[in-house]
Each structure stands twice: as structure tokens, then as C-alpha cells.
Chains A and B, each alone.
Chain A
């Protein structure tokens, strides 16, 4: 069996679905961040696959992916730092307990 573009797109769509579902249902803040990473990776797979199959003569998709990886790393570093600061202060990790402000 040869792997075609369809396989990659289905994989990334499934990954995107899992990511969105996880981001909306997880209670733990770190779990939400992991789900969001899945969404980023779904976009990455899409970019690389499209670049390989649709525009093989340019590397625009691969380039985009490098930037996404770098930015996602910065975002998770910042997220973990804030989670750590909140945990130190209030011993809270669950997003539904970060509810000092509502409505």
C-alpha cells in the first residue's frame, strides 16, 4: 500500500479533532496545553504533507512548520511557568478551579 496525501490529511484531521475535544473537556491545565499541542501538530502534518504533495518545488510548508514548532515551544514554556506560579500560590492545577473571576 502506498501512503497518499489522503492518509496524511485524515491523520491530521483526526488529530485536530482529538485536540479540540481534549482542550474543551480536560480539567487539568497541563492536559489542556497538551491537547492544544495536538492541534498545532495536526497543522504541522498538514503543512508538511501539502508541501510534499502539492508544491514539491518550494519549501513553504516546511518553513512554516519550523516557525510553528518554535512558537509553540515558546507558548508552552510560558504556559508552564504561569501554571507553576499559580500552583505555588494556590495549590490549584485544574482549570475549573481557576475561577476567581466569573461572568
Chain B
């Protein structure tokens, strides 16, 4: 057994333990814990980035391949950026500081296992580790009604969807007689798929849809984003969604690939519904966090368009988009967190005149929103173009046309925000906002990265294509 392949996960477990121990030792100055955690996970991210491995351990239930390397990087990137945001913008009670950062770590650990496991029990436990930690994080402000309600809704819908997922998994297990994805794929390839198997796949699809905020399971998204602390919302929107999509890729684009006549039509219909509902409901939103939540729902719809595309190009486009989307969403949420810290509000009306008061924040938010809308030369444009190209490759022209129309529709509500910031003036004179230095650096880094990925996507696309091919060639 080659335990070196588990080194990332073992190190993260060590970091979580260290944070919890520090919480016992340090009585006052709890901020030290947060800075230690930040330094350690930043180091771990660097280590993962430089230290890509390849192999299978634990009797074939844990794999370290390109796709898990890439998604681990996205997850850790999300965790680091969310930690920086938490340090500056929210007040965690000293008593809960250790717990907050430890839970941030455990949810990252769950996601890391989720993206690299190749066995149903491991997948399920990893999924729940990630989800339960995120539920606690969103209900963290227990004296805030909205935060508690967000936690409640997240929990009830999460539990319901994991129940449905489990029932589907039990049917898959019964039909394939095994819980290992590789062996399930062998059964699928041999063409023996009865009605129970197909029902199982449909139930699994619904259960996975919760993580992706795909339409019938999307109702939690706006409430959780609005109620949860802003860094946690950013983290959920970035890391949890990326992990969910990798989970879906492992199940559908790999294990059930030969059964694509079952899930591709369903996913196409759900992709159209996800885009439409996300975009149409976003237009009437008055709260910027809710608006971003509906925008992430429609982004999930675009990703699903690429997801049903041709195997290697589809996976590569999904990975690329997830990367671009991570940078963009973190940028948008950082601006929101800074404004909320200064004005205490996320309402759209309070953003009027932001361009005159804080040109730096206004420009950053504008770049983020335009990237989400897919305007060149920003990262979001290349990502969307690549997703639609993957669907075209398979000949789904009508789907691409609907997606492009939806993309135009989304520009409308992003421009509503820009109008609020640039054209309207605030009624009352507001004091100058305080932007912490670390967040200023974070914003500038995100902007540079978005521009770099948008202008020179070649290297990134080569990497994601290589990773996508690697998943099919490297199995044992």
C-alpha cells in the first residue's frame, strides 16, 4: 500500500487537529489560530500544486489522478481565499474561532476525499462530511435569524437529497453487485442494465443535483447564500460546487458513460430549466447576495451544457470553467463582503453611487459581473465559449442556442447592478470605506488572474485537456 498518495489528506487532517489543539492551549488572542490555519493551508495548497501524483490505494477505492489533483487545487484555493475573507470581514466569537476554522478544514477534507474516491461508501461518507461541516458553518451566527434559517433549510434539503441519493445507490449496488466504480463500469459496459439500475441512476442524478444546485434541487441556494456569513457563501459557491461537479463527472462521464441514453436527455432538459429559472428569477432580486445566488444557479446550467458534450472536451471544458468561475465568484463575493462590513447591508439600493465613493470596489465588481456574463477578454468568456463548443461537438445546436440566449438574458441583471453603481447617486453622504490591505491584495490578484486566463487561455486549456484524457487512460 502506498500511503504517500494520501499525503494531502493526511496533512489536512493534521492541520485540523493542530487547530483544535491550539484552541485548547491559547486562551486569549484567538486570532493566532486563524493566522496559523491560514499559513498552514496556504502551504498545503502550494504543496499540492507542485506535487502531483498518480496511483490507486486502499484496494482501488481511492485514486489520485489528474482530475483529483486539479480539483483539490480549486478546493484548497477556495478555502484559502475564504479564510482570508473571514479574517477581515466577519466577527467570529473568540469561543468559536477554533471550531470555525476547523470546520472549514473538515469540509475541505470531505471535498478532497469526494473528488478522489472510486467507491460508493467512500463517496457517500465524504459527501456527508463536506455537507455537514458546511451546514454548521452557515448556521454559525446563532444569534442571527437569517443564519439559523439558512442552516435549517440547507440541512433539511441536504438530508432529503442524500436520502434520495442513498436509495438510488442501493439500487445501483443491487444491479451491479459491487460498490466499486470500476467494476460497476464493467457491468454497465457489458450491457446488462435492468429497469432497477436505470431508476437508481435517475435517483442518483437527483441526489447529486443538490450539490450542483441543479433545478429541482436548487431551492436552498438563495436562502443559504443570503443567510450564511459571506465568506462561507463564497466557499460554498466555489469549492462545494466544484467538488459536486467532479463527483458528477466520476459517476456519469465515467461509470455510467455507456448508459448516456438514460441521463443525457434528462440532463439536457434540466440544464435548460436551470439556466432559465436562475436567470429569470435573478432579474427581480433586490439583495445582491441573492442575485449572485441565482446567477450561480444559471452558471450551473451553463456547466451542464458542457457536461453533456463530448467526453474529453466536455470534461476539459467543465474543469476550465470551474477554474474561471472560482476566480470570478471569489472576486465578486470579496467586494460584497467589504461593502457589507462598511455599510452593514447587501441590498442593491445601498450600492448606488458606489462608483463615485469607491471607484476601486466598483471597477472590481464590474469586472467580476462582466466575467460572469461572459464578456471578452475576461475568463468567463473563454470558459463559456469552450463549454458551448463541447456541446456543439456532439451536435446539440438547439441547446447551445438556448444557452447563448440565456447568457444574453443574464447580462440584463448584471447591468442593473452596474447602473445602480455608476448612474444612480446615493441619497445620503457616506463616509469613506475601509478596505483592509489583505483584501485589496486579494482583489487585485483575482483581477489579474481573470484577465490572464481570459487573454491567454492556451496553457490552461492544454492542462485541462491533458487531465481529462488522463482520467480515461489511467484506471488501474
Would you call A63 and B159 a contact (CB within 8 A)?
no
Would you call A90 and B145 a contact (CB within 8 A)?
yes
Given contact pairs A39-B164, A79-B159, A89-B148, A50 touches B170 in the complex (Cβ within 8 A): yes
Chain A CB within 10 A, most for which of B164, B222, B290: B164
Residues of B within 8 A of A89 (CB): 143, 145, 148
- The answer to whether B14 has its CB under 8 Å from any CB of chain A is no
Per the bound structure, the CA–CA distance linking A32 and B159 in Å amounts to 10
Q: Write out, one digit per residue, whether chain A residues 63-103 have a CB within 8 A of any chain B CB (1) or not (0).
A: 11001100100110011001101100110000100101101
In this complex, what residue of A is CB-closest to B156? A32
Per the bound structure, the CA–CA distance linking A95 and B125 in Å amounts to 27
Residues of B within 8 A of A83 (CB): 152
Q: How many residues of B contact A (CB 8 A)?
A: 44
Would you call B152 and A82 a contact (CB within 8 A)?
yes
Given contact pairs A60-B178, A63-B121, A78-B132, A50 touches B173 in the complex (Cβ within 8 A): yes
Would you call B155 and A67 a contact (CB within 8 A)?
no
Per the bound structure, the CA–CA distance linking A32 and B177 in Å amounts to 32
Given contact pairs A71-B124, A86-B152, A100-B149, A42 touches B222 in the complex (Cβ within 8 A): no
- The answer to whether B169 has its CB under 8 Å from any CB of chain A is yes
Per the bound structure, the CA–CA distance linking A35 and B121 in Å amounts to 23
Residues of A within 8 A of B164 (CB): 20, 39
Would you call B124 and A67 a contact (CB within 8 A)?
yes
Per the bound structure, the CA–CA distance linking A103 and B156 in Å amounts to 18
Would you call B170 and A47 a contact (CB within 8 A)?
yes
Considering only residues 6-22 of chain A, those with a C-beta below 8 Å from chain B are 16, 19-20
Given contact pairs A36-B156, A63-B121, A67-B121, A46 touches B170 in the complex (Cβ within 8 A): yes
Q: Write out, one digit per residue, whether chain B residues 135-150 have a CB within 8 A of any chain A CB (1) or not (0).
A: 1100100110110111
Given contact pairs A61-B173, A100-B149, A39 touches B155 in the complex (Cβ within 8 A): no
Within the complex, which residue of B128, B148, B166, B290 is in contact with A82, where a contact is CB–CB below 8 Å?
B148
Would you call A98 and B170 a contact (CB within 8 A)?
no
Residues of B within 8 A of A39 (CB): 160, 163-164, 166-167
Considering only residues 155-196 of chain B, those with a C-beta below 8 Å from chain A are 155-156, 158-160, 162-164, 166-167, 169-171, 173-174, 177-179
Would you call A60 and B179 a contact (CB within 8 A)?
yes
Would you call B163 and A19 a contact (CB within 8 A)?
yes
Per the bound structure, the CA–CA distance linking A79 and B178 in Å amounts to 32
- Shortest B304–chain A CB gap in Å is 23
Residues of A within 8 A of B314 (CB): none
- The answer to whether B456 has its CB under 8 Å from any CB of chain A is no
Interchain pairs with CB closer than 8 A, number: 117
- The answer to whether B39 has its CB under 8 Å from any CB of chain A is no
Per the bound structure, the CA–CA distance linking A17 and B231 in Å amounts to 38
Considering only residues 33-65 of chain A, those with a C-beta below 8 Å from chain B are 33, 36, 39-40, 42-43, 46-47, 50, 54-55, 60-61, 63-64
- The answer to whether B452 has its CB under 8 Å from any CB of chain A is no
Within the complex, which residue of B120, B149, B167 is in contact with A98, where a contact is CB–CB below 8 Å?
B149
Within the complex, which residue of B150, B156, B177, B290 is in contact with A54, where a contact is CB–CB below 8 Å?
B177
Would you call A43 and B169 a contact (CB within 8 A)?
yes
Within the complex, which residue of B120, B160, B222 is in contact with A36, where a contact is CB–CB below 8 Å?
B160
Residues of B within 8 A of A85 (CB): 139, 142, 148
Would you call B149 and A42 a contact (CB within 8 A)?
no
Per the bound structure, the CA–CA distance linking A46 and B175 in Å amounts to 12
- The answer to whether B9 has its CB under 8 Å from any CB of chain A is no
- The answer to whether B281 has its CB under 8 Å from any CB of chain A is yes
Residues of B within 8 A of A43 (CB): 163, 166-167, 169-170
Per the bound structure, the CA–CA distance linking A68 and B153 in Å amounts to 21
In this complex, what residue of B is CB-closest to A16? B167
Residues of A within 8 A of B145 (CB): 86, 89-90, 100
Per the bound structure, the CA–CA distance linking A36 and B169 in Å amounts to 16
Within the complex, which residue of A64, A86, A90, A103 is in contact with B281, where a contact is CB–CB below 8 Å?
A103
Residues of A within 8 A of B222 (CB): 101, 103
Per the bound structure, the CA–CA distance linking A82 and B284 in Å amounts to 30
Residues of B within 8 A of A46 (CB): 167, 170-171, 174
- The answer to whether B226 has its CB under 8 Å from any CB of chain A is yes
- The answer to whether B301 has its CB under 8 Å from any CB of chain A is no
Residues of A within 8 A of B170 (CB): 43, 46-47, 50, 61, 64
- Shortest B208–chain A CB gap in Å is 15
Would you call A36 and B159 a contact (CB within 8 A)?
yes
Residues of A within 8 A of B171 (CB): 46
Residues of A within 8 A of B135 (CB): 78, 82
- Residues of A that sit less than 8 Å from B by CB: 16, 19-20, 23, 29, 32-33, 36, 39-40, 42-43, 46-47, 50, 54-55, 60-61, 63-64, 67-68, 71, 74-75, 78-79, 82-83, 85-86, 89-90, 95, 98, 100-101, 103
5 smallest CB-CB distances across A and B, nearest first, come from A39-B163, A46-B170, A43-B166, A50-B174, A101-B223
- CB<8 Å pairs between A and B, sample of 5: A60-B178, A67-B125, A85-B139, A89-B145, A98-B149
Supplied contacts A98-B149, A101-B226, 7 more A-B pairs, CB within 8 Å: A33-B156, A39-B160, A68-B124, A71-B125, A78-B132, A83-B152, A95-B156
- Residues of B that sit less than 8 Å from A by CB: 120-121, 124-125, 128, 132, 135-136, 139, 142-143, 145-146, 148-153, 155-156, 158-160, 162-164, 166-167, 169-171, 173-174, 177-179, 222-223, 226-227, 281, 284, 290
